[in-house]
């Protein structure tokens, strides 16, 4: 029976990457690479690595866990289980290495797989955002700053903004992947003493076999700034996805009602209020983002380990590594599905554009007055006064402005154009096209 929702509700393709089975597989891959390096350097018989590799295919997780229950050491339990299946070659497993030579190098392999999965997921999300940006580059809506109506903008601008941010998230993950793709084979304090004069060469051979870089220096562990950077990159990515989810939540409020999450025929919004269409997927995304961010604090606290290392990082990493990867992957998957089925309500978009009775065109009126010879500050004060009058008297801004001497200088056609929000989006269309190129 699953205890963690990571094993059920939030399970994704990322779950397999961080499974105990894959971790065991990666540990054995490192042991095989170590044996091959020893064989190349003439330390062990040349046929030993093949026997160890063959033995690794017979090792079962259940047996490793059974041994761990007896000896209370997970890595050594793997070594013993692998040795059981490797015949006489079993005696050549794990020569000269310490547990974290194997574990940290394997973690680099797992992180690299995890980041690749995350990149694939974000590329799908970006593709949906790009499609929406281009489809809605001319969909004019009200812009909001401080929660108040500002100038008109477009839905294309919103989606292109998110697309652009996802590209930066991808770039950060790529950089973090480069810095996490390091392994070590340097022993208990990083000196390679157990490998004798062949230490540097052996480490190089192992890492080349595994496709990662050898750490230029380590103590008993790969330094945790590398892992913290990855979790920071995941947290920033989660925050980007949360930003999109929060906007959908706010725009789907009944008093705004411009967009809505896809809602199934038999979907239930509330156990007691049958009318509800709660944006629960977006709310879930916002909730999970908090979890991913919180894990960064733990990862940062794992950096200053004592002396050549202590064990205070080990237990919490069993939680924060898979949790951060799986949850962020789930968030991206969920957001992609929400956006693919996002509903638009054009009548409400239009209604909200006109809600303030033309006040959102105040900047344009001010700028037009300046273009016609009024000083900027004078124009600002005049429009501000008229805007306040419009608000307090609940009148139409165009009506209030046209009654003033400055407004009488405009023809009816000019006034209609001046107060048309659909024509005041500047270079929005080009900005969107450039942003998603």
Give the burial class of 390: count Cβ atoms within 10 A of its Cβ; 0-12 exposed, 13-18 middle, 19 or more buried: buried
The catalytic position among 146, 271, 307, 392 is 146
In this structure, what token pair is assigned to residue 243? 């930003």
How far apart are the C-alpha atoms of 282 and 249, rounded to whole Å?
Answer: 6
Phi and psi of 182, rounded to 5°? -130, 140
The catalytic position among 4, 116, 270, 287 is 270
How far apart are the C-alpha atoms of 177 and 172, rounded to whole Å?
Answer: 9
Give the dihedral sign, CA 53/115/328/323: positive
∠ CA 410-154-145, nearest 5°, is: 85
Q: Which residues contact 34 (CB under 8 A, 6 or more apart)?
A: 94, 95, 97, 101, 102, 185, 202, 206
Q: Say whether 19 is catalytic.
A: no
In this structure, what token pair is assigned to residue 285? 């995304």
For tokens 């968030």, name the residue. Answer: 331
Tally of CA atoms within 13 A in the half-sphere of 163 that contains its CB: 24
How far apart are the C-alpha atoms of 221 and 67, rounded to whole Å?
Answer: 24
Q: Say whether 270 is catalytic.
A: yes
In this structure, what token pair is assigned to residue 246? 């929060």
Of 401, 404, 390, 392, nearest to 357 (Cα)?
390
Q: What is the DSSP letter of 148?
A: E
In this structure, what token pair is assigned to residue 363? 């900047």
How far apart are the C-alpha atoms of 389 and 391, rounded to whole Å?
Answer: 5
Residues with active-site annotation: 146, 270
């Amino acid at each position: 029976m699953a205890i963690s929702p990571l094993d059920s509700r939030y399970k994704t393709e990322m779950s397999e990457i961080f499974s105990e089975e894959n971790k065991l597989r990666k540990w054995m891959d490192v042991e095989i690479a170590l044996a091959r390096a020893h064989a190349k350097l003439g330390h062990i018989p040349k046929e030993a690595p093949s026997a160890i590799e063959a033995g690794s295919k017979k090792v079962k997780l259940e047996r490793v866990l059974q041994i761990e229950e007896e000896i209370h050491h997970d890595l050594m339990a793997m070594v013993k289980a692998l040795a059981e299946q490797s015949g006489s070659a079993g005696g050549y497993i794990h020569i000269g290495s310490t547990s974290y030579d194997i574990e940290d190098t394997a973690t680099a392999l797992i992180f690299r797989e995890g980041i690749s999965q995350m990149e694939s997921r974000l590329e799908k999300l970006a593709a949906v955002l790009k499609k929406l940006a281009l489809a809605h580059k001319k969909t004019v809506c009200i812009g909001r700053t401080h929660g108040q109506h500002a100038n008109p903008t477009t839905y294309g601008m919103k989606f292109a903004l998110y697309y652009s941010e996802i590209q930066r998230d991808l770039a950060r993950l790529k950089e973090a992947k480069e810095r996490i793709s390091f392994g070590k084979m340097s022993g208990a304090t990083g000196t390679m003493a157990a490998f004798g004069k062949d230490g540097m060469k052996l480490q190089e051979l192992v890492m080349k076999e595994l496709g990662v870089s050898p750490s230029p220096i380590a103590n008993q562990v790969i330094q945790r700034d590398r892992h913290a950077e990855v979790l920071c990159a995941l947290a920033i990515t989660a925050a980007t996805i949360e930003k999109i989810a929060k906007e959908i939540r706010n725009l789907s409020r009944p008093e705004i009602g411009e967009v809505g999450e896809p809602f199934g025929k038999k979907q239930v919004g509330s156990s007691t209020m049958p009318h509800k269409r709660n944006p629960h997927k977006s709310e879930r995304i916002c909730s999970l983002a908090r979890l991913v961010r919180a894990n960064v604090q733990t990862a940062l606290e794992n950096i200053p380990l004592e002396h050549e290392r202590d064990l205070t990082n080990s237990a919490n990493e069993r939680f924060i590594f898979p949790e951060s990867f799986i949850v962020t992957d789930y968030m991206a998957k969920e957001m992609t599905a929400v956006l693919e089925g996002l509903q638009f309500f054009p009548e409400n978009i239009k209604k909200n554009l006109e809600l303030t009775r033309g006040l959102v065109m105040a900047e344009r009126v001010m700028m037009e007055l300046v273009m016609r010879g009024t000083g900027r500050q004078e124009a600002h004060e005049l429009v501000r006064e008229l805007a306040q009058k419009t608000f307090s008297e609940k009148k139409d801004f165009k009506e209030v402005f046209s009654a003033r001497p400055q407004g009488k200088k405009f023809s009816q056609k000019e006034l209609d154009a001046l107060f048309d929000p659909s024509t005041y989006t500047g270079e929005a269309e080009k900005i969107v096209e450039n942003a998603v190129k």
